[in-house]
Chains A and B, each alone.
Chain A
């Protein structure tokens, strides 16, 4: 990306916003077979937005998140956060992973303070922040526990606290609750939404679970075969409990998502759907 382009994009991207600009990612498999994991994906996430990336497995969701995280360099296009071009991983875009990434050799508090220590925060500052975030995720009593003494859901809370303690403008989440049971997942949805409401961090959340996206998202990006096939704004009122998700606009939104991803019935009346607050 040239300096002119960077300047142009930088001018358009506010702090906390993420601009994904014509990003492509091509992998070469064995026997020279090329796979387009991402194909010319462009969008801008506004500051404080909760963006869910939805699509079937193997259609580029995680690759997109890894490109934004700087863990995977794109083969084309660029990613800007604020005025910075993403060139590698950094604490301005911390990530909660699908797998368990809580460091088992560190106590819970040390895990939460890991990023703060990397940033050179003082001991007092680290203690203050870890106290705050451990309390926020309901684990203040487990500060001195080993991760092996916690359940899977509790370890996800630790990962969440470690990411949010960095007070970054953007947080990335790659199916973070995918391996948890339904009830734990639901309680973590509530916790995440509470913390998001408090911090207004821009969240990129990858999931293949449409219900999860409907509960969490301001906006749903649909990825199919590496292409961004739709960009839906979700105007359902929060909290989105069972009653809200049973409303006709929520049901129609599910149909739109399924339709775009190649499943489900035809959409009956897309125009009326848009009028009811679901806009693409």
Chain B
């Protein structure tokens, strides 16, 4: 097994441009931090230096550790510690992840399931298509207060809200994926004697799956936005809540840490979701090669990678 240092070395040799880009961003940020005008508020530089981010700002995160065990509780006059910061990150991350996984799972199952039912009956498709297109246009973040009014500022409310957003996305994209199944597969099945029901479940549904890859990755990105958004507006825990507190204290360093953490978690989510999906549709020729996190992240950001068809 290769050591991590050797792997990084190989990666630098193979992808020098990516590493140079990261180096430019990190160095450029540091230069900007020194050029930016000083803030009038203590501990709130407009552009925080890396030193500030990884010392003061990181330690201040322990303010979000609100329990009286394992580490001092700064809200009760306790000292700010790195261990407290670590506990705060782990606790709030687990809260966000729990809501995200629950909402995403319910949303994906409900979205794909209801779309398959709707697609099977032409009448149902006609019935829901217009309201569905209206729902697509709904600015989801604007619906957060409504969901919190209905379900309260609770984990339940956030989960239902995430599931709703993912449901709308996957409902529309699954119906589209079913509509985009090449006629040749359907006609071939029919001439081989398959009934309408068998053609649907043995041919149309599996043929539609590869097109759902992009939507699934987009749903993962969306669910992170919805989780953080709803926590930011109304919940007392989660990474979104830390962001809200950081904003209250205009602590740009904490904002940077949480934003980077969310990006990291989103990348991990894409990676595992893509692994899972590739296993699900391992028969697709263009998905046969190994997962590439950078490309997958690109998929979520822009919809589809430019160099490779998603559906194969």
Q: Do A and B bind each other?
A: yes
Q: Mark B176-193, 1 if CB is under 8 A from A, else 0.
A: 000000101101111111
Q: Mark A91-117, 1 if CB is under 8 A from B, else 0.
A: 101110101110111100000001100
**Is chain B's binding surface mostly helix, strand, loop or mixed?**
helix
Pick from B192, B209, B282: contact of A163, CB below 8 A: B192
Pick from A89, A100, A118: contact of B198, CB below 8 A: A118
Report how far A114 CA is from B284 CA in the complex, Å: 19
Residues A97 and B184 in contact in the complex (CB < 8 Å), given A71-B191, A118-B192: yes
Smallest CB–CB gap between A262 and chain B, Å?
A: 30
Report how far A119 CA is from B82 CA in the complex, Å: 68
Pick from A71, A99, A115, A146: contact of B192, CB below 8 A: A115
Most buried by A among B187, B188, B192: B192
Q: Mark B268-298, 1 if CB is under 8 A from A, else 0.
A: 0000000000000111110010000000000
What residues of chain A lie closer than 8 Å to B202, measured between beta carbons? 114
Report how far A93 CA is from B206 CA in the complex, Å: 25
Report how far A89 CA is from B187 CA in the complex, Å: 8
- Inter-chain contact A166/B192, CB cutoff 8 Å: yes
- Inter-chain contact B185/A101, CB cutoff 8 Å: yes
Q: Which B180-224 residues sit within 8 Å CB-CB of chain A?
A: 182, 184-185, 187-195, 198, 202-203, 206-207, 209
Smallest CB–CB gap between B53 and chain A, Å?
A: 47
Interface size on A, residues (CB 8 A): 30
Pick from B193, B206, B207, B282: contact of A118, CB below 8 A: B193
Closest to A95 in B: B191
What residues of chain B lie closer than 8 Å to A94, measured between beta carbons? 191-193
Q: Which A213-258 residues sit within 8 Å CB-CB of chain B?
A: none
Is A74 part of the binding interface, using a Cβ–Cβ cutoff of 8 Å?
no
- Inter-chain contact A103/B198, CB cutoff 8 Å: no
Report how far A163 CA is from B193 CA in the complex, Å: 10
- Inter-chain contact B206/A105, CB cutoff 8 Å: yes
Residues A148 and B191 in contact in the complex (CB < 8 Å), given A103-B203, A118-B198: no
Pick from B190, B203, B207: contact of A89, CB below 8 A: B190
What residues of chain A lie closer than 8 Å to B283, measured between beta carbons? 104-106, 146-148
Is A188 part of the binding interface, using a Cβ–Cβ cutoff of 8 Å?
no
Pick from A93, A103, A119, A147: contact of B191, CB below 8 A: A93
- Inter-chain contact B193/A91, CB cutoff 8 Å: yes
Is A18 part of the binding interface, using a Cβ–Cβ cutoff of 8 Å?
no
Is A138 part of the binding interface, using a Cβ–Cβ cutoff of 8 Å?
no
Q: Which B35-94 residues sit within 8 Å CB-CB of chain A?
A: none
Q: Which residues of A contact B (CB under 8 A)?
A: 69-71, 88-91, 93-95, 97, 99-101, 103-106, 114-115, 118-119, 146-148, 159, 162-163, 166, 172
Task: Show 22 A/B contacts (Cβ-Cβ < 8 Å), sorted by A.
Answer: A69-B191, A71-B187, A71-B190, A71-B191, A88-B190, A90-B191, A90-B193, A91-B191, A91-B193, A93-B191, A97-B184, A101-B184, A103-B189, A105-B207, A106-B283, A115-B194, A118-B189, A118-B192, A118-B194, A119-B193, A148-B284, A166-B193
Q: Which residues of B contact A (CB under 8 A)?
A: 182, 184-185, 187-195, 198, 202-203, 206-207, 209, 281-285, 288
Known: A97-B188, A118-B192, A118-B194. 15 other contacts (CB 8 A): A88-B190, A90-B193, A91-B191, A91-B192, A95-B187, A99-B182, A104-B283, A104-B285, A114-B189, A114-B192, A118-B193, A147-B283, A159-B188, A162-B192, A166-B193
